[in-house]
Amino acid sequence: MLATIASATLLGVEGRGVWVEVHVAKTGLPRFVMVGLPDAACRESRDRIRAAVINAGLRFSGSEVVTVNLAPSGLRKSGSALDLPIAVAYLVASGQLKASAVESVGLLGELGLDGTVRGVRGALPLVEATQAMRVVVPAENAAEAQLSNREVLVGTNLADVVSALSGDRFWPDPPDLVVSPVAPGPDLSEVRGHRLARKALEVAAGGGHHLLMLGPPGSGKTMLAQRSVGLLPPLDDVRGAEVIRVHSAAGSLFGLGAADSGPAGVGPLRCDAAGELVVTAPFRAPHHTATVVSLVGGGSSQMRPGEVSLAHGGVLFLDELAEFPAHALDALRQPLEDGSIRVSRAHASVSFPARCLLIAAMNPCPCGAGTPERCRCSEPALRRYARRISGPLLDRFDLRVRVEAMAPEDLVDAPPGETSAAVAERVAQARGAARRRGVSANRELSLAELEDHTRLTPEARAVLDSALRSGRLSGRGMARVRAVALTLRDLDGADGTLDAPTMQVALGLRAEVGVALAAVA
Ligand SMILES: [Zn+2]
């Protein structure tokens, strides 16, 4: 007998509808065959299903020919979310459950050997891709599944799912959707002094320009970086939905697998004062011991997004940049450039969104003294340190500023800085100007578009030419300074004519990065 059930599989952060077909024949050589491009985790489901069915008090005869077909056959099926639909389809095909019980019901979930229905990553995109109006999901995923427009049925274990499908018992109530309210983040007004670094932060947010801060330990780099995300404009619906899908695919939206979603694994979903759901821009700060896979995404079985994707729509903060392994930083270059990352393994290749603002911080040298006079580092040690940050990576930072430790008396005397809200208004204005140029931030403008949208006064051109002649700027660097200058104009609400003073400020935000890094700047 043949049974067909709707389900889905995860491809990157997108769900793809899958039809699970199970055929059971009583005659022939007993076996359990699965076809339709299942991956390793998916193939192993045979053993989980057999144990789960038996432990649920149902029958799994070893003498049948069971054929499982996962359609469409050309689509690779990954992970364990197909366990539950395969098990239920088997029960229908083997005559233990009426076919009418599964009509217009989709199912998703991993099975434990004891029949428990376990949560899966990507529940929201999976539910949305399932071609059924009612979908049975694991209890762990029920909150997240309610963000879809489907009727959510909660499955806790196989035996209960089977009795509820047969109408012998009620489905458990789905849990209430509990989302923390939007909390005000740390405010820029708490940062005293640091005029240049504050400016750099504003330009970074306004133009999407990646920022590198150099300064000794305790100079306030982390404090500044943490305030960057509060300057970004609210996410629009499209970007917000992308952010939600990424966090769902990582299992971090409602804490599933929170242990492996990184130290800053807090979901981006919040509710506002009116109780409406809002998606906040994420701030991710992976430690320098993070693996390449956890930074850029991948994994041996089911591919999951990395930190650069979890920061999509928000900020990726890399503290102690020079301590990250060189190959990890190299792997970040392409996604930072393209706004997405393609992760390939022998059997498959998926793409994750990765449009984030990169803010990095590092000590100017290994001893962290900050100034050449106080530095105790040897010449070779400085050279080794400088080599950690490759030229091409350094090139991704349009903004490079030094953050000096402030004297205690300066901290006390300095007036409180401008609030995040005041700066965010200018940032929103600059982003609006960028949108009118057809990009979401000025950093994305090509050289030709920059030429189109900026006019240089003769004095401004002279400033650039002199920086070029003195070797301070490369040709590429010149274009980047121009983009930063345009952002400065946008933040001021001025037109795109770049004058000499603006150009000087832009150049000042691309400082030669001091003691050790001058050699590679
Ligand atoms: Zn030093």
Nearest Cα residue to 331 out of 246, 396, 270: 396
Distance 417 CA to ligand 1 centre (A): 31
Furthest C-alpha separation in the chain? 89
Give me the helices (H) in 437-499, please. 447-453, 458-469, 475-491
Distance from the CA of 382 to the center of ligand 1, in angstroms? 7
Give me the residue spans of the domains in the chain: 2-166
216 C-alpha to ligand 1 centroid (Å): 10
> For the residues of 493-506, what is the DSSP string, one character each?
T--SEE-HHHHHHH
Give just the sign of the alpha carbon dihedral 386, 314, 490, 478: positive
Residue 56 alpha carbon to ligand 1 centre in Å? 65
| Residues facing 19 on adjacent strands | 6, 71
- Burial category of 474 from C-beta neighbours within 10 Å (exposed 0-12, middle 13-18, buried 19 and up): middle
Question: Which DSSP state fits 346?
Answer: S
The Å distance, Cα 213 to ligand 1 centre, comes to 16
User: Ligand 1 centre from 327 Cα, in Å?
Assistant: 24
Calculate the alpha carbon distances from 217 to 220, 221, 407 in Å. 8, 8, 14
Distance in Å, CA 404 to ligand 1 centroid: 14
pLDDT of residue 266: 52
> How far does residue 381's CA lie from ligand 1's centre (Å)?
9
pLDDT at 516: 43
Nearest to 328 by CA among 293, 300, 359: 293
Look up residue 475 and give its two tokens: 């040709």
Q: How far is the CA of 96 from the centre of ligand 1 (A)?
A: 73
Compute the distance from residue 181 Cα to the ligand 1 centre, in Å.
44
Distance from Cα 332 to the centre of ligand 1, integer Å: 27
CA of 518 to the centre of ligand 1 (A): 14
Going from the Cα of 508 to the center of ligand 1, the distance in angstroms, rounded, reads 23
Q: Do residues 2 and 23 touch, judged by C-beta distance below 8 A?
A: yes
CA 194 – ligand 1 centroid, Å = 22
Distance CA 101, CA 276 (A): 36
Residue 377 Cα, ligand 1 centroid: separation in angstroms?
A: 4
CA of residue 356 to ligand 1 center, whole Å: 31
Q: Cα(365) to centroid of ligand 1, in Å?
A: 4
Which residue stretches of 138-215 are H helix?
142-145, 158-166, 195-207
| CA 513 to ligand 1 centroid distance, Å | 14
Give the model's pLDDT for residue 178. 77
Successive 10-residue mean pLDDT values, the chain, 521 residues? 94 93 91 87 86 94 91 88 96 95 95 95 95 95 91 96 95 84 87 90 97 90 94 92 92 62 56 86 93 87 88 95 90 90 79 95 82 81 80 87 81 81 96 94 92 92 91 85 96 91 93 51 37
3-class state of residue 212 by DSSP:
strand
Centre of ligand 1 to C-alpha 376, Å, is: 5
* pLDDT at position 181: 83
The angle that helices 45-55 and 83-93 make with each other, rounded to 10 degrees, is: 60
Q: Which residues surround ligand 1, an ion (CB under 5 A)?
A: 365, 367, 369, 375, 377
Question: Domain 2-166, CATH 3.30.230.10 — does that match?
Answer: yes
The rounded Å distance from CA 374 to ligand 1 centre is: 7
Q: How far is the CA of 288 from the centre of ligand 1 (A)?
A: 20
- In this predicted structure, what is the pLDDT of residue 261? 38
